[in-house]
A and B are shown apart, each in its own frame.
Chain A
């Protein structure tokens, strides 16, 4: 019935090209679909794409664009992608995502849809434990043919690995390999939901930096500063380190020893950051460099020790930013902070991201606008001399990659009179102290009058 449902849509994939980028710790897939509406009467308003359950679990982000115009004047229009109605169940638990087309596809028309998606935790290290001198080999599992709810007339799959060291790969003829590239296809006329499993076993010594938990706290002060504090819990997500760690080997033979380990990370921060610090629970970590120009600041940090597979570390990065770069007033009189989502560390996967936007004390009706689905709630946090507490917008998201580093906005109402609350409190306290001193000096609390007065 599913096939029938898909057929009802009347969409056929004329040609599909799947390019899988396996060079990094995360898997990036570019899909080019040339689709045609073969239905006789109805317009097609959306195109479905399918993922296996395992893929869907590790799917960090899906983006789709539609190419318009010819050749050099080609423009790409982003298309909204959303999980399809769960009622439209697919065989073997395949999950469908629906790409909505802004202008429906008329019968017999064709269009080209480009899909980009990112899979995290999809490279399985094998062997799972390696010693210091070994390099890291991983498995990647996918299908040679495109998993699609539609008929696919012609297709090809191209896999790119970081080096020419590919231990093994499944052959589904026609299959060819040249250096780091493996090509599957072209295949013709595949049925809907066709699947042909392949396994690639290849060398990948990239830094498998996984941020297991990242809590970013953004404190907005209307006195002119935005203070960001980021707590990282970092892990090397690759093959586990086994046995001896020899510093001698590591220092003397850097090229072959600890090839899969990494010792530094790069964080891209906004321009004009100030008072940057990098520390952990036992103090400052002195190995970091900050370079900044007018477009960005780059903070290069080294954890206290090089990270081998399975090793953990935690650290905190904090910095201040000028308020005027981030706080704006919207047309309806509300203020909004325009901040960047995601994790500033490049090439990392964040398993659990929590962003806390601490609004100034006295701000009301906060509202966060994030371009993708997140879990949100409100909290109250207390900081320097707060009485009623600061409204805090908490935004949570799982499985975050670099493609999530897009701006998001937090709208709120704030009356500047609240800025004076704390200074006035301090002034009152000091006044009261002086008053108490005066009263104390001018009252005689002795019970019996001393003889001196007589």
Chain B
């Protein structure tokens, strides 16, 4: 890598240097290509081990939206009112969805199809995430290169290509917003740092566009629009204000906000909500500082002092007034102008106190220590070294990286999900650390010989365990760092233009005559160090491959278990969805807990009451209440919602733990939050949640219990629940208002139909009711009019 840098730097040298430069460029490009291939292919475990299928829950929604987009076109997509979900409310998809991912996959699909490459929408969706992971590792290379040069860039890109935390969200089939958003995030940061380094308005514009793409892709864009202002503020406070900083920030805020407001789901939120407040505040501060610098340049120091005192007094008064008004405005809103999810980030206890829906999602829980180790593995140990290395010569770029790391560490500590934002920062800093360490170690191996000539003891090495130091000549690394300090690095492209720019800088960077002090270790120690680092990298690679192959490749709609007689596949979810799709009326409504809403609409193509886009708490609470009510009450609630089928997920027969019985307490909590007659205490025996003989009568009588365990005891005679490992409390009971219409092979999904109201009528009317009309509503009407009743 040192050679590589040397090659790329010695541009001004003669023909040989030029050839060398071209060669190193080729090598770099080749390495990047391989990194891209690595990033893509490590995510294919899921396709090879399972199949090319969309994973989990949210991706199914995105897939369905993409299907609609590819079928109906972009204008229909913006106006799409989806009546298949949130019945009877519906949902305006075009205005409530982050369209970036969908549009990206839709464009790829359209492009391929216009080239007559007949790939299905599903295939494109499955492979979008791996493709964008490759893009993300290239973006990481660019970002790191801006801060610490090619070597660190390649290292960081390699690490990011296989970091488990990112793999967990971007395996083939995991067609979720985060898959493209992480690329957009890193690329936006790269363009920001690039603008900061060059001061070029061209990159500033690109930066705004990239920010726009990020806004389109993910709600996490607020992280960018808060992190960059923080960095700008940091630069100003530490006296690093420059015109480059202005160019990097001001256009981003103006253009970025305008563009963000174009995205329907953001709209006026881009100026109204508190998430964006920091950016405008810093925007003002930046202008004040720019003005101050400008005036400072105009006035003599004495006059400047006078002006300062004047401006300060007036300005402070004004500022106080403005701040007071703003504070009053913000305080008038109940959530202080923050959205629930953002607020739960700032106050980790907020969600569990006020919004059970957010708290009920496992990925919104704070992570445990093992999950850090799982997600970033050995990188956790390399990061501190990376931070030190960033501080050795602190540039704008490296300070940005450090700030990025620190903030994302905090956020990942609040929510498991945001570990994803942490991953790139960790990868970049570990890449820097590794690259620097390798640099020092290989250099000390290479320049071992001159040690005898002249030794000068100096301290300060980024590698742990550095003991001896020495001076050497011709340090390409130092020259490189020096250049970065000057903020004139612009050599990522060997076009004529940039070559000229480099010449413009005028500092031909390689000066063989210049002597610099550098640290050199004894060769044994450095050999040991290299060996140790390679071992560490090996461990990391092994862990990543294991994580990609074993931990994150399961699509969660298909379960497998390995027993002594081979692999067993549990494909019950799709069995039930396929049954619904083909054997019910097209307009039937299916009620289930919201987890299965997206899958039901996408795979079964039936209308659902609630889905994973948990925007309406009351509606979800209604379903929760119905599930926790006794049969008759539940029937009335479902009947009023036009529901014809109720779907429950039950893991008791095969021991699948994340079934509806285990989620049931959340239904009670969310239902009870809106309808106070549902009390959590009624379902708990001495504070314990149980469905065995100790279970409370309310629990053993509620709809969820009955639908899950209907005729379950007859399977083995005892009713032993394998998911909870005890015998169930109530074994033999009849259903009066529901009838079983389908149960999958392993009983994982059970579908019940609401019985018509006829079961109150005896004898003489049976025949008439049998021939009554199809919809339950009409039946109800007929029943009411009945004079004999």
Taking Cβ atoms with an 8 Å cutoff, the residues of A that contact B are 243-248, 252, 280, 282-287, 304-305, 310-314, 382-387, 440-441, 444-446, 450-453
Contacts and interface: CB of A to CB of B under 8 A. Distances in A.
B85 interface: no
Given A243-B739, A248-B714, A282-B578, 9 more contacts: A248-B711, A248-B743, A304-B575, A310-B583, A311-B582, A383-B116, A384-B118, A450-B501, A453-B500
Q: Which 8 A-B pairs have the closest CB atoms?
A: A247-B743, A452-B504, A283-B53, A312-B582, A284-B51, A382-B116, A452-B500, A304-B575
A441 B495 contact: yes
B118 to A, nearest CB: 6
28 contacts: A245-B742, A246-B711, A246-B743, A248-B711, A248-B743, A280-B578, A282-B53, A282-B581, A283-B53, A283-B557, A283-B558, A284-B53, A286-B558, A286-B569, A286-B571, A305-B742, A305-B744, A312-B582, A382-B116, A384-B116, A385-B116, A385-B117, A441-B495, A441-B496, A444-B496, A444-B497, A450-B504, A452-B503
B715 interface: yes
Contacts of B711: 246, 248
Contacts of B277: none
Nearest to A381: B118
Contacts, number: 92
Contact of A245 (B118, B581, B714, B743): B743
Chain B contact patch, size range: 35 or more
Contact of A385 (B115, B557, B569): B115
Nearest to A446: B497
Given A243-B739, A244-B739, A452-B501, A282 B115 contact: no
Contacts of B603: 282
A268 to B, nearest CB: 25
A430 B703 CA distance: 63
B577 interface: yes
Interface in B717-750: 739-745, 747
Contacts of B91: none
B579 interface: yes
Contacts of B558: 283, 286
B504 A305 contact: no
Contacts of B741: 244-245
Given A244-B741, A246-B711, A304 B116 contact: no
A304 B579 contact: yes
Contact of A247 (B51, B582, B739, B745): B745
B497 to A, nearest CB: 6
Contacts of A383: 116, 118
Contacts of A285: 571
Give the dominant DSSP class at B's interface. Answer: mixed
Interface in B382-424: none
Given A312-B583, A452-B500, A283 B740 contact: no
B574 interface: yes
A127 B196 CA distance: 81
A313 B117 contact: no
A444 B495 CA distance: 8
Interface string B484-503: 00000000001111001101
Nearest to B505: A452
Nearest to B568: A286
B116 A450 contact: no
A311 B575 CA distance: 13
Contacts of A384: 116-118
Interface string B692-730: 000000000000000000010011000000000000000
Contacts of B503: 452
Nearest to A250: B743
Contacts of A284: 51, 53
A41 to B, nearest CB: 63
B756 to A, nearest CB: 12
Given A386-B116, A450-B504, A452-B500, A247 B569 contact: no
Given A285-B571, A304-B578, A382-B116, A245 B504 contact: no
A146 B504 CA distance: 105
A382 B744 CA distance: 40
A313 B581 CA distance: 9
B715 A248 contact: yes
A282 B574 contact: yes
Interface in B526-579: 557-558, 569, 571, 574-575, 577-579
A311 B742 CA distance: 12
A446 B202 CA distance: 13
A312 B584 CA distance: 10
A91 B104 CA distance: 67
Contacts of B714: 248, 252
A282 B126 CA distance: 13
A253 to B, nearest CB: 11
